[in-house]
Amino acid sequence: MLIKKIVSLFTSLKLTVTLLAFSIVLVFVGTLAQADEGLYGAQAHYFKQWIVVGANLFGHYVPLLLPGGYLLGTLLLANLICAHIQRFQFTTKKIGIQLAHAGVIVLLVGQLATDFLARELQVNFIEGETRGYSDSAMDYELVFNDGNNVTAIPASLLKRGAELKYPSLAFTIRVKEFWRNSDLNFRPPMMKNSPSLTTNGIAAKFDFRPLPEVKTTEQKNIPTAVLELADTKNSFGDWVVSDFAGEPGIVQGIQNGYIEQVGAEMARKIAGDLAAPQSIATDGRTFTFTLRPERVRHPYSLTLLKATHTVYPGTDTPKDFRSRVRLENSTTRENREVEISMNHPLRYGGYTYYQSQMTAGDLVERAGQTPSSVLQVVRNPSWLTPYIGCVMVGLGLVIQFMKHLVGFVSKRKVK
């Protein structure tokens, strides 16, 4: 009896209608909230969520309770599948509707799979640079390298007050601060500066301070941590590790930023100071360490040969971005040049490389900077599902629609 009730609930059109109505409300609220919470914040709060509690709209907190994206998606999927099984008849009469609904199922399942399986990375390199790995766009790692072994600690473990011990490391890491987003300033010599965070390494020459996390997709969080390193006998003092120093692209950006203020020579020196490796020595081993984006290694490498950025004549409106890269893979003995441009990605080795931002063109060259290019790298095993789903739904609706139309027209003709 109960089972029957549940089945009839899950096959009912009333449930479909209710879920669709809630979906509309959720998408609307989740869109408005982006102005306050940012795209990623809103995604996590409303769409990649089971239950939504409260919303931030127009700068105000609004108390409300809504089913989240996951819940609605799952229920819609269950509703669709149940109804499909129950009402499925192999007749030409309903084939359009059934095809369309099957297509929606493919789309929903595909998106769910994408959500769990897809990985977004990036490659940020200057002309002439070779990369055998991609960087994570959101996740960072603290890396210790003693020349033989590399120990990578995910930044998610770097919580303030945490104490981390690793068998491969001869010392303990105490996390004194962890800022998900931060800012840095050069400490000009011969000037009265505020006291530095610590006198070790880069902190002697740069000031770091926390910043609120960014909300828009155009900006990027740059994390910084203050660590105390100590073994049983002695302490190695406090050290600042920062993505400012860990990512060559950011170091380059800082250098470019200082060129105008202090000249090319000085800017290069500042960048050199920032990128200078930090290390401690203990037990006859020297550990260099840095905080940088998480890396995914590939069995092949890409070298940026040329970054081209063209604009429409007499304007700054970008006309075209393209990167010429050399693809080398020793296992397949491949060595070829590829051109990646907007709307023309490179699909290779299960990853897809898309042209993203670019620092190149006349202005960059006149400023004496080396052109660089950022490629978005995506791994998404279920990338084909939207294509299939779209064809199914489109075809299904067209069949159904044509049938209606033909019936309607012939009926009017008879009159």
Partner 1 sequence: MKKIFQKWFPPFLMFVMALWFFGKLQTPKEKDFAFTGFGELPVTANGRVQPMDSLARNSLLQLRERQRLYLEPWKEWYEKQKSISAIEWLANVMMNPVVADAWPVFRVDHPDLVSLLKLPEKDRAKQSDGKHFSWNQIQPVLEAFNEQNVQVQGIKGPDRNAYQRAVSQLHNQITLYARLKLAVQPGAAQDWPAELAAYEKFVPAAVAAARAQQAGEKFDEEAFKEFSGYIQAFQMMSQWEPPLILPPNGTREWRRMGDALLDVPRGVAVDTAMRDYAKMSGALAANDADVFNAALKDYKASLVPAQAQALAKSRAEVFFNQMEPFYNATVIYILAGLLAVFSWFNLSEVLRRSAVWLIGLAFVIHTIGLVYRMILEGRPPVTNLYSSAIFIGWGACLLGIILEKFYKNGIGCVVSAGIGFITLIIAHHLALEGDTMEMMRAVLDTNFWLATHVVAVTTGYASTFVAGFLALIYIVRGVFTKTLDEATGKSLARMIYGIVCFATLFSFVGTVLGGIWADQSWGRFWGWDPKENGALIIVLWNALILHLRWGGIIRERGLVVCAIGGNIVTSWSWFGVNMLGIGLHSYGFTDAAFFWLMLFVLSQLAFVALGLLPEKKWRSFRA
Q: Give the binding site for partner 1 (CB under 8 A).
A: 13-14, 16-17, 20-21, 23-24, 27-28, 30-32, 34-35, 39, 42-43, 47, 107, 111, 114, 120, 216, 311-315, 317-321, 342-343, 345, 352, 354, 356, 376-378, 380, 383, 386-387, 389-390, 393-394, 397-398, 400-401, 404-405, 408-409, 412
| 77 versus 311: smaller Cβ distance to partner 1 | 311
> Quick one: 318 or 368, whose CB is closer to partner 1?
318
> Residue 369: which of 249, 214, 192 has the closest Cα?
249
Give 129's strand partners.
Answer: none
Q: How many residues are there in the chain?
A: 415
Closest to partner 1 by CB, 150 or 409:
409
Residue 392 · residue 100 · CB < 8 Å: yes
Query: To the nearest whole angstrom, how small is the minimum distance from the Cβ of residue 114 to partner 1?
Result: 7
* Least Cβ distance, residue 72 to partner 1 (angstroms): 10
Three-class SS state of 370: coil
Query: What is the closest distance, in whole angstroms, from the C-beta atom of residue 63 to partner 1 in the complex?
Result: 22
Q: Per-residue DSSP letters for 348-367?
A: ETTEEEEEEEEE-SHHHHHT
80/250 with CB nearer partner 1? 80
Structure tokens at 119: 């990985």
CB of 39 to partner 1, least distance (A): 7
Task: Identify which of residues 246 and 389 has a Cβ nearer to partner 1 in the complex.
Answer: 389
Q: Which stretches within 157-284 are classed as H helix?
A: 243-246, 248-262, 264-275
Sign of CA dihedral 157, 158, 161, 167: positive
Least distance from partner 1 to the Cβ atom of residue 315, Å: 4
CB of 26 to partner 1, least distance (A): 10
Please state, as a whole number, how many other Cβ atoms lie within 10 Å of the Cβ of residue 77: 16
Rounded least distance, CB 411 to partner 1, Å: 10
> Cα 372 from chain centroid?
19
Q: How many other β-carbons are positioned within 10 Å of the β-carbon of residue 41?
A: 15
Whole-angstrom distance, CA of residue 107 vs CA of residue 2: 31
Q: Which is nearer to partner 1, 202 or 378 (CB)?
A: 378
Nearer to partner 1, 304 or 374 (CB): 374
Centre a 10 Å sphere on the Cβ of residue 310 and count the other Cβ atoms it contains.
13
Which lies closer to partner 1 via its Cβ, residue 285 or residue 324? 324
Other CB atoms closer than 10 Å to residue 42's CB: what's the count?
22
Backbone angles phi, psi at 396, to 5 degrees: -60, -45
Give me the least distance between CB of 344 and partner 1, in Å please. 8
